[in-house]
Structure 1
Amino acid sequence: MNYKFKTFLLYIFFHFILSISFLQAQDKKHEILSQIKSYKLNDPPKERDTVYINLLNKLAWEFIYSNYDSVSLLSNDAIRLSKSINYKRGQAKAYIALAFSSTITSNQTDASFEYINNAIKLSKDVSADSTLLAAYNVKAMMRMHAGDHENAYKIYQEALELSKSKKDLLSEMKLNTNLATLFLLLGDTKEAVPYYENSLKLSEVLNKKHWIGVIQSNLGYLNVKNKNFDKALKFLDQSIVIFTEEKKPEWLSFAYITKGELYLEKKNPKEALKYFELSEESHKKL
């Protein structure tokens, strides 16, 4: 349970699609594959239309954490077909998947930045604001991965202003969370607090149970760092209940490892080990 693992879990924040459990993911993959097969069998000439391309992009995202080659294959196919009918939103979504997948699998290259810049340009061309916000989100994460925190911050701020102008509360909530996490990773816990608080308020307004748990778990992490242990324990226990109910092993793992760190800080290694082992057990489900 080292620093790189914890940092990766924090990076999950930068994903703009909510994570789903392994079993749910398998069901969704099968559902999309069935739709693709049915679509091709019933009306082969429509393979190049937007519905088929959207299905390819959706399927690519189902492999985002598990199979880089599948993401690459599906996304490149979506790009090729989108170009043939000048479907720019379809191209943009495929480029975002390629860029994000390359980063979380440690395959980030100059080509990855070319993908995300293409996605941003294409999204702007057709005023696809939600896709543009997703592209900004991923580009900021990539800049962070490259150690360029200053530009990551600038990108997030630009995206946050756009989300506010479009009254996109869900994107605004995620971007506040991302900015908080940026400061948290930099060790600036004071700057992180107002962004997390804004994000928690928005998640409650939107009644997004998963995101309430995500923010609570990171407020727990933040309070562990600030040695506010009682407050941290409250946030972590609340998030653990949500992640257990929602079957979110990736976030349950994060909450457990943070709770382990809390007990380590309190000089209780026996209790700390218990939660580190629970974290590892949950992480194996991924």
Structure 2
Amino acid sequence: MLGKLGLDSTQLAALISDKQAEEMEIELKLDAIETMLASGNLEKAFKEIKKAEKKEDYSKAVIAYLKGRYYIKNNDWKKAERNFNDSIRLQREVHHSEKPKKNLSASSFNELSIISYFENDLDQAIKYTDNGLEVFDENGERKHDKYILMSNKAIYLEKAGRIEESFNLVEDLWSYRSEINSIEVILSLYELRSILLRRKKQFDDAIHFAKEGIKIARLNNQYNRLFDLWSALGSAYLHSNELKCAKICFQTALTLEGKFKYRNVFIQTYTDLGILYVQEENWSEATKALNKAISLGRELNDARRLSLALIVLGDLFAKQDKKPEAISYYKEAIGIVQKHQLKKREHAALIRLAQCLQNTDQEAFATCAAHIVQLELELQDQKEEYYDEV
């Protein structure tokens, strides 16, 4: 056979060696591009992606994935979504022939879940994490992506109010802590445990895990997680009525503004600070904090966080018997939550609106009351928790 090809064994070995060296170089180049993307060197990364795209021996699925990563870093959700879907499709097409165990499809589904989360579609975000976990190859590469998918799913479940499901997933992940090599995932688990324990009214434990996470984040210079954990600690103190401690936590968290890219998280912290000031009846500081939350929520199109800030600002005016102002904010919140099918929050806003309308506009009150009854039938006997479930 070698004779027919005009090759001897030495020449064949040299060809194989050259091919392996070429594949190793390609693999290294693609890893280098992913590092550029992770470190924020986006334009250099994109130039390298475009160069690689012109070469036939580069994996099209990997190129599509890297382009998706570039676009998601630039907040261009549509182009990112298209490229991640292309990567998944290409992986299916090549099946066994082209690096089947890179777990690129699982990674792409994870990125698609993040896009859905930022587009206020929690149900779709959860579905994408399920898709990612379903195609994940336990014997393949990128093993850390499994834990990222699980962690993200737990976050989406908590945001969707599916507390027990989220808590059970966090408990499952907690048992794998020694295998998780991502400090961000580890710190996310500490934050989630704190949030979920607070929502289960286990305040001492919620405070404990937030404090432990803060220590780890501080040692590792994880500023975004430091922000999240200080905010979680503040919420635990707020809900246990330790207002002075809560204020210290929220103010500390807000000193980290500007340390990281995603500003959506500040909406919740300003809202929590507003709740704190409302409880203190410090109307001017509450208004300032809530207006900051609302301004950010509108700018960033964060329906869930924005609607809560609007409800809290409505409460602030209702407590001062300024009903027209309260009604205006409740109505704006209702418009947002109806668009995004946030039924529990819609119910909470409608109850507040009805209270304002009761003695001022009987016709509007009757319409509002009928809507509340319809929503209660849809929600059945699900109970709300003050602000957490709103």
Tell me, in whole angstroms, the C-alpha distance in 2 between the residues paired with 1:183 and 1:214.
15
Report what 1:37 is aligned to. 89
Tell me, in whole angstroms, the C-alpha distance in 2 between the residues paired with 1:186 and 1:99.
24
Of the three residues 192, 197, 202, the one matched with 2:256 is 202
2:246 pairs with 1:192: yes
Count matched residues.
262
1:203 partner SS: coil
Shift of 1:256: 1.2
Tell me, in whole angstroms, the C-alpha distance in 1 between the residues paired with 2:76 and 2:323.
35
Contact 2:270 2:290 in 1 (8 A): yes
Of the three residues 56, 59, 69, the one matched with 2:109 is 56
Aligned identity (percent) is 15
Contact 1:170 1:206 in 2 (8 A): yes
Provide the alpha-carbon RMSD of the alignment. Answer: 3.0
Report what 2:127 is aligned to. 70
- 2:145 aligned partner, one-letter code: G
Q: Higher relative CO (CA 8 A, sep ≥ 6), structure 1 or 2?
A: 1
Deviations 1:149-205 (A, max 9, x none): 222222111111100010111110111111111222233322210000111111144
- 2:286 aligned partner, one-letter code: A
2:200 pairs with 1:146: yes
Of the three residues 139, 146, 149, the one matched with 1:94 is 149
Q: Assess, with a 3 A threshold, how the Cα gap between structure 1 residues 225 and 168 changes in structure 2: closer, same or farther.
A: same
Tell me, in whole angstroms, the C-alpha distance in 1 between the residues paired with 2:154 and 2:83.
25
Shift of 1:220: 2.0
- 1:91 aligned partner, one-letter code: K
Report what 1:217 is aligned to. 271
Report what 1:271 is aligned to. 325
Structure 1 stretches of at least 4 aligned residues deviating more than 6 Å after TM superposition: 23-27
2:123 partner SS: coil
Q: Which runs of 5+ in 2 are unaligned?
A: 1-71, 341-390
Higher-helix-fraction structure: 1
Shift of 1:99: 3.2
TM-score, reference length from structure 1:
0.78
Tell me, in whole angstroms, the C-alpha distance in 2 between the residues paired with 1:38 and 1:160.
41
Q: Which runs of 5+ in 1 are unaligned?
A: 1-19
Q: Assess, with a 3 A threshold, how the Cα gap between structure 1 residues 255 and 69 changes in structure 2: closer, same or farther.
A: closer
Shift of 1:88: 3.8
TM-score, reference length from structure 2:
0.59
